[in-house]
Amino acid sequence: MERLLQPVVAGVVTALVGFTSSFTVVLAGLRAVGASEGQASSGLLTASVVMGGLAIWASVRARMPISIAWSTPGAALLVATGSLRGGFGAAVLAFGVCGALILLTGMCAALRKLVLAIPGPLASALLAGVLLQLCLVPVTTMHDRPALAIPIVATWLALIRLARRWAVPVAMLVALAEIVAKSGQSQLSGHRLAPSLAITTPVLTVSGVTLGLSLFVVTMASQNIPGIAVLDGFGYSAPVRRVLIETGGGTIAGAAFGGHVVNLAAISAALSAGPDAHPDKDKRWIASSFAGACYIAFGVSAGLLSALAAVAPAGLVETVAGLGLLGTLGSSLAAAATEPGAWSAAGMRDAAVVTFLVTASGFSLAGIGSPFWGLLAGLVVLTVLSLRWRGQRPSTLLTAAATSEGRP
C-alpha cells in the first residue's frame, strides 16, 4: 500500500511546490503587460488547466514522468517588459507567437538545431537580465514597507536553512495572510472570486511579435532544454518532438484566454522523475499524472488569488515572486560565466556581460523590448570578437604582439 501511495504523494508535492512557489510570478507578469484582474485570473486558470491536462496526457501515453509547467522565467520576462503598445491584446499575440515557434521547433529538425546553436552563456545572461528587476523588488519593499516585507523575508530565510523546498510556499502564505489582514473582507467583496475565463482579441504590433520571440528563447533555454536533461539524467528518453508540438499547441490554444506559455518542467520535474517518487522508474509516471490533476484542481483558486493580488499593497506579491526567483538568477549568472570550448573565454564573457546589461537596462527601440536587443547585442559582440584576421583570432594576435615586445 505504501508503494502505491508513494507516487501519488510525490505528485501532490510536485504540484504544491510548483504552483505555490511561482503563481505569484505569473500574476505579476500578466498584470505588468496590461491584464485586468479578470484577464489575469483567466490566464492563471488557463495555464493551470492546460499544463495539468498535458501532463496527464503525455505521462499516461509515454509511461514516463513527463512534468509540464508554465514558464516562470517567461512570466518574469513579462514583468521586465511592462506595458505594451496595443495593451494586453499585444501580449496575447506574443503568447501565440511563442506557442507557434515552439510548435514549429517540434515539427522542424532544422529549427531545433538553430535554437540549440544559441550559445548557452548568452541565453543564461538573457534570463539573468530578465530576472534582475523582479529579484530587486524584495530589497525595495524592505525599504518602502518594512513592516510587511520583514516577516516574509525572515520566513523565507529561515526555511531556506531548514526546508528549502518549502521556503517560497510558506513565505507566500505569510504574504497572503498579511494581504487578508490589511485589506479585510470589505475590499474583497467587490471582486469575483469564482474562476472564470475571459477572451482577449490579439492585437498585431511589432512589440508583441518580438516579445513572443523573446518568450520563445527564454522558455527553450531555461525550461525545455533543462527539462529534457532532467529526464535524461533519470534514465528516460524524452519524446522531445511530441512534447514540443503538444506544448506549443497548448500555448496557442490558451493564448486568447491569457495563458502565457506552457513547457516541460525543469526544477520541479525532478520531484516526479527521481527515486523519491518510486523505486521502480516504470511507475513514476503516476507521480507526474497526479501532479497534472492537482494543477487543474489548483486552477479553481485562480479567481481568489487574482483578487488577493489586486488588493495587495504595492510590491507585496512581487516580493514573494522575487524571492522565488533568486535561485534561478544565481544559477543563470553562474551559467553565463561559463564559456563553451568553441569560443574564446574573453569573447564569450564580454558578450554575456553585454547581453545581461542590455537586457537588464529596460532599453527599448522602435517598440521592441530589451530582451530582443540584449540577445542581438550579445551575438554581435561575440561575432566581432571571434572574427579571424589572416587566419588568427584577435586574442592570438594580441598575445603574439605582447610576446614580441618582451611581455608575458
pLDDT band at 388 (very low <50, low <70, confident <90, very high): low
Rounded average pLDDT over 221-234: 82
Helix (H, G, I), strand (E, B) or coil at 381: helix
Q: In this model, does residue 244 exceed pLDDT 90?
A: yes
**H helices present in 193-325, as ranges:** 206-219, 225-233, 240-255, 269-273, 285-299, 302-311, 316-324
- Residues contacting 237, CB < 8 A, separation 6+: 231
Alpha-carbon span 55 to 293, nearest angstrom: 8
Residue 202, amino acid: P
Q: In this model, does residue 404 exceed pLDDT 50?
A: no
Q: Among candidates 257, 252, 256, which has minimal Cα distance to 97?
A: 252
Q: Among candidates 321, 56, 71, 368, which has minimal Cα distance to 205?
A: 368
Domain ranges for the chain, please list them: 2-385
| 66-96 tens-digit pLDDT | 999 999 889 988 988 888 888 999 999 999 9
355, 129 contact by CB (below 8 A): yes
Integer distance in angstroms from the first to the last C-alpha of the chain? 69
C-alpha cell at 124: 543564461
pLDDT band at 339 (very low <50, low <70, confident <90, very high): low
Report the predicted TM-score, pTM, of the whole model to 2 decimal places: 0.81
Instruction: Give the up-direction half-sphere exposure of residue 100: CA atoms within 13 A in the CB hemisphere.
Output: 9
Q: Which of 24-28, 236-240, 335-339, 352-356 has the lowest mean pLDDT?
A: 335-339
C-alpha cell at 64: 514516463
Alpha-carbon span 384 to 382, nearest angstrom: 6
Q: What are the Cα distances from residue 223, in Å, to 37, 185, 299? A: 27, 38, 21
12, 291 contact by CB (below 8 A): yes
CA dihedral 250, 47, 29, 148 (to 10 degrees): -160
Q: What is the CA radius of gyration of the chain?
A: 22
User: What backbone torsions phi and psi does residue 407 show, to the nearest 5 degrees?
Assistant: -95, 145
Q: In this model, does residue 176 exceed pLDDT 90?
A: no
Q: Among candidates 100, 12, 30, 8, which has minimal Cα distance to 321?
A: 30
* b/e per residue 393-402 (b: at least 16 CB within 10 A): bbeeeeeeee
| 119-160 tens-digit pLDDT | 878 878 888 888 888 889 899 999 888 888 899 999 999 998
Q: What are the Cα distances from residue 192, in Å, to 39, 44, 127, 213, 296? A: 12, 14, 34, 33, 19
Residue 143, amino acid: H
C-alpha cell at 316: 507585496
Q: In this model, does residue 340 exceed pLDDT 70?
A: no
Query: Can you give the pLDDT at residue 262?
Result: 95
